[in-house]
Chain A
Amino acid sequence: MKHFLKNNICLITAVLCCLGLEGYGLVLDAYGYAVPQEGIGSHVALAVLNMREGIFPWNMDSENERMMMTEMAEAVPEPEILPEPEAVPQDEVVAESETMPAEVPEEEIAEALPEETAAESTAELPAEEIGPSFATVTDDYFADAVFIGDSRMVGVCEYAGIPNSTFYAKTSMTIYKMLGSRVETTREVRTVRDGLQKNRFGKVYLMVGLNELGVGNTEYFINQYRDVVQEIRGLQPDALIYIQGIMHVSGRLDRKGGVFNNDTINRRNAALAALAEEMNAVYLDVNEAYDDANGNLPQSYTADDIHLKANYYDLWHEFYLTHAVTASETGTDAPESTENPESIETLNMLNTLDVSEATK
């Protein structure tokens, strides 16, 4: 036995390390950190993932934010007893969404209906028929625009063919770390915050949300988003901010019923639309250009169920061109009117849906 141990130091170290990780994972689990997946080895995975995020046994408690995040993710079944003070109380959200239809002029609701069809059709219609806010512009419009976002935005940068504009995009960017993210698409700046401090932009397009689907709940996501938008406002006071809804995933992935499903995306998009109104920003939903009849990303447009194939980014470009808010109209509160009635209804159901999301 002794002989065996003496000759198998490598194995012993490995076993000890695994036991250590397993133990740490169990502690983290006990503290309420979300376990990534069920099954053998999940606690080791949990320990490793948290250590990657810089959460070690000696600074576990200082990571309050992270703790809260995962607590929230787990506490979704009973949202009303959430122990977070700075979050918007549930009834306030309800109040907001209930008052919204009143603010929208009735004829605009009726006229917003054509918007549900694809972008090509809206491009053919005169701007004032769709709603006063959106105009069709040329590529010059994007000369002072900055596009910030995740891998899908990287794709826009590489394949949509929008000339002379700035992209601060990075694969796996999330709203939680958006401004500190290291930019992948340009070498001129290091981080997004860096770029926003150095340069002045007329328009800021934001597109994140997919990577956040598994973390926290809609409220937590929106609160973080609000903070980021506020900071961007501070850095770029004159810029028009476009908040983009999350692009859907394909039906195949949606049916798998995992974290990436279009129900959750729709819920978060509805909340993003409300946030855009609250922050006086423009809400854009690129799904209008891409959705198939069932509200999924068409299967033929994607190879991995999440990202567009290079060929289909043109549609996105066209969508931007036909969904621009021009300077003369930014002064009015027009942007809100672009919500279609459907999304408002969805917003109304936000609370009930959030509960069903968790119980599912």
Chain B
Amino acid sequence: MVFSSLEFIIGFMPLFFLIYYLIPDKWEHSVNARNLLLFIGSLLFYAYGEPRYVFLMLASIVINYLLTVQIADERNLSLAGKRRRKRYFATALFFNVGMLFFFKYYFFVAHNINRLLYWLSMSADVTLPYLPEVQLSNPIGISFYTFQIMSYVIDVYYRRYAPERNLLTLGTYISMFPQLIAGPIVTFPEVERRLHRRRISAKSFDLGWKTFILGLAAKVLIANRIGILWTDIERIGYESISTPLAWMGAFAYSFQIYFDFYGYSLMAIGLGRMLGFSLPENFKDPYLARSATDFWRRWHITLGRWFRTYLYIPLGGSRKGTLCTFRNIFVVWLFTGMWHGADWNFILWGMIFFVLLMLERAFLGKVLEKVPLLSVPYMLLVIPVSWVIFAITDLPRLGVYFSRLFPFVPMQYASNVNTEDFLRYGQVYIFSFVTAILFCIPWLKKKVQGMLCKTTGTIFCTALFLLSIYFLAQGLDNPFLYYRF
């Protein structure tokens, strides 16, 4: 189930919150009862679309719970005790990484190894055994909750905090439906206090609900609308679009993916607030970034934070000399690319950011700092082009799209191009573009945030809600871009 569906808004949400608030505040087991309800509700929320994989998540919770408790209980500081501790930790890591690998990357890796084997056997004229290519459907949200569990396991191992002894509380932390499917990737201390004791005021609930509506509107009224242009371009075929339309498409996709993901994160924060939690922000005006480095400080903040804390710094960060830093950044971006999907284009996408970040580290960053005006065309190039690489998983087709973006390159695949197509689509999508650009301006966002608690905010949000329902009801298919991760 996704937040931006009628099933969720009209079915799940009212029913869940009604029961949630029927549990009396003053009862001594109130928190446990609410955690239990939240846990069961989250499992149902997850199982609605994917009934089988809910057991995978449950298994993951139980196994990680047992191992972290073992790690913490190993108080024997002798060599043997330390070794046992390490063994539990390694088991937990192996389980989590292995599960993620098996469900998300096995097919990709096996397929490519088989291609290599095929090529070898052809050139060396020997028969080699092939790996079975099992293609499993991707369990929804597996990358998100596995990363969350891993952050917990690693922190417990390094004694940053004591493990949670209550399985229900841990299960609630992992499976909590606001962040289950598409983040933000929450660390345990961020919600721990509230998992043990929470009361929420009527005002806070109202603010949460309004935040949810803002997120819903970002998704339904901006991302979904402007995203249709991208499907239009696919329908026409990349080889037949004019260069202006290719750029329009790249910008449209950039806006779509931002408002989609930003909207989803806002909805998560709003729902979290309605439940009594405060979830971390995931975006900070990423399209106002002045460099690629800056962009990644503003885009999907909780993922960047995860990679910094649990990969970059353990590898040595930037403290072990230039060569080591180079390697660490490379590893981080290889994994960041792969985290987003098991395909070559995602690796290419990660590598492009690796190169850009290295360039900015070397000299480009200083240039951009000295000539701020230069960063505008630079980012206007980097953002849409990188998202195009992200969007098109098929490399030959990506090549076709690039030849349309940059018509001066010698390799051309253009055929049957209507040179005036951008005028027609421009007319259709001008309104969506203007709205999208407007809501990238921090001033406007601040205004909206500021008026939320006033009467104007109430009217504005109600209007947005009804408009969103109207568009949702039109039954336009509602593809959530980050759904497959």
Per-residue CB contact flags for chain B residues 368-392 toward chain A (1 = under 8 Å, else 0) read 0000000000000000000000000
- Given A40-B6, A41-B9, A309-B240, verify A49-B473 contact (CB < 8 Å): yes
Instruction: Identify which of residues 281-318 in chain A touch chain B, using a CB-to-CB cut-off of 8 Å.
Output: 302-304, 307, 309-311, 313-314
Task: Say whether A49 contacts B474, CB under 8 Å.
Answer: yes
Q: A41-B9, A314-B416 are in contact. Are A11 and B206 (CB under 8 A)?
A: yes
Among B241, B424, B472, B473, max chain A CB count under 10 A is at B473
Q: In the complex, what residues of B have CB within 8 A of residue A307's CB?
A: 235
B209 and A10 form a contact (CB under 8 A): yes
The interface on chain B, measured as residues whose beta carbon lies within 8 A of the other chain's beta carbons, has a size of 42
Q: CB within 8 Å of B: which of A168-204?
A: none
A310 touching B10 by the CB < 8 A rule?
A: no
Give the segment of B138-146, B315-323, B462-470 that binds chain A: B462-470
1/0 contact trace for A249-270 toward B, CB 8 Å?
0000000000000000000000
Within the complex, what minimum Cβ distance (angstroms) separates B120 from chain A? 31
- List the A side residues contacting B421 at CB < 8 Å: 158
Query: How far is the CB of B2 from the nearest CB of chain A, in Å?
Result: 13
Is A309's CB under 8 angstroms from B458's CB?
Answer: no
Given contacts A40-B7, A40-B10, 13 further A-B contacts (CB under 8 A): A8-B209, A9-B206, A10-B206, A10-B458, A14-B465, A41-B7, A44-B6, A44-B473, A47-B473, A48-B474, A159-B236, A303-B234, A310-B418
> B474: which A residues are within 8 A, CB to CB?
48-49, 52
In the bound complex, do residue B206 and residue A18 qualify as a contact, i.e. CB atoms below 8 Å apart? no
A15 touches B209 (CB 8 A): no
Q: What's the least CB distance linking B284 to chain A, in Å?
A: 26
Quick one: given A40-B10, A41-B9, A44-B10, are A3 and B469 in contact (CB under 8 Å)? no
Contact assessment for B235 and A304 in the assembled complex, using a CB-CB cutoff below 8 Å: yes
A15 vs B206: C-alpha distance in the bound complex, in angstroms? 13
A-B contacts, 7 listed (Cβ < 8 Å): A11-B205, A11-B206, A17-B466, A17-B469, A52-B470, A302-B235, A311-B239
Contact A3 B466 (CB under 8 A): no
Contact of A11 among B7, B209, B236 (CB under 8 A): B209
A39 within 8 A of B: yes
Q: Which residues of A contact B (CB under 8 A)?
A: 3-4, 6-11, 13-15, 17-18, 21-22, 36-37, 39-42, 44-45, 47-49, 52, 158-159, 161, 302-304, 307, 309-311, 313-314
Partner among B11, B237, B462 whose Cβ is within 8 Å of the Cβ of A309: B237
Q: In angstroms, how far is the closest chain A Cβ from the Cβ of B375? A: 36
The answer to whether A45 and B475 touch across the interface, beta carbons within 8 angstroms, is: yes
User: A8–B202 contact, CB under 8 A?
Assistant: yes
Q: Contact between A14 and B462 (Cβ–Cβ < 8 Å)?
A: yes
Closest to B418 in A: A158
Instruction: Tell me, rounded to whole Å, the shortest Cβ–Cβ distance linking B212 to chain A.
Output: 10
Per a CB cutoff under 8 Å, which of B12, B203, B416, B465 touches A159? B416
In the complex where A10-B458, A48-B469 touch, is A40 in contact with B11 (Cβ < 8 A)? Answer: yes
A-B contact count, CB below 8 Å?
114
Query: Within the complex, what minimum Cβ distance (angstroms) separates B417 from chain A?
Result: 8
User: Are B473 and A45 closer than 8 Å at their CB atoms?
Assistant: yes
Q: Which of B161-210 contact A (CB under 8 A)?
A: 201-203, 205-206, 209-210
Cα distance A359–B241 when bound, in Å?
43
A340–chain B nearest beta-carbon distance, Å: 30
B153 interface contact, C-beta 8 A: no
Instruction: State in angstroms the CA–CA spacing of A39 and B12 once bound together.
Output: 12
Query: Nearest 10 CB-CB pairs, A to B?
Result: A41-B6, A310-B240, A309-B237, A40-B11, A48-B473, A7-B202, A45-B473, A4-B202, A41-B10, A40-B7
Q: Shortest beta-carbon distance, A53 to chain B, in Å?
A: 11
Q: Are B462 and A13 in contact (CB under 8 A)?
A: yes
Partner of B416, one of A17, A52, A310: A310
Q: Could you say which residues of chain B place their CB within 8 Å of the CB of A14?
A: 209, 213, 462, 465-466
The docked-state distance in angstroms from the alpha carbon of A310 to that of B470 is 32
Q: State whether B14 touches A15 (Cβ < 8 A).
A: yes
Least CB distance from B428 to A in Å reads 9
B415 adjacent to chain A (CB < 8 Å): yes
User: What is the distance, in angstroms, from B193's C-beta to the closest C-beta of chain A?
Assistant: 23
CB distance from B240 to the nearest CB of A (A): 3
Taken together as a complex, chains A and B put the C-alpha atoms of A47 and B240 apart, in Å, by 40
Q: List B contacts of A21 (CB < 8 A).
A: 469
If A4-B202, A10-B458, A311-B240 touch, does A304 touch B9 (CB 8 Å cutoff)?
Answer: no
Q: Do the beta carbons of A311 and B237 come within 8 Å of each other? A: yes
**Contact indicator per residue, chain B 33-48, by CB within 8 Å of chain A (1) or not (0):** 0000000000000000
B202 pairs with A3, CB closer than 8 A? yes
Q: A17-B466, A41-B11, A44-B6 are in contact. Are A10 and B461 (CB under 8 A)?
A: yes
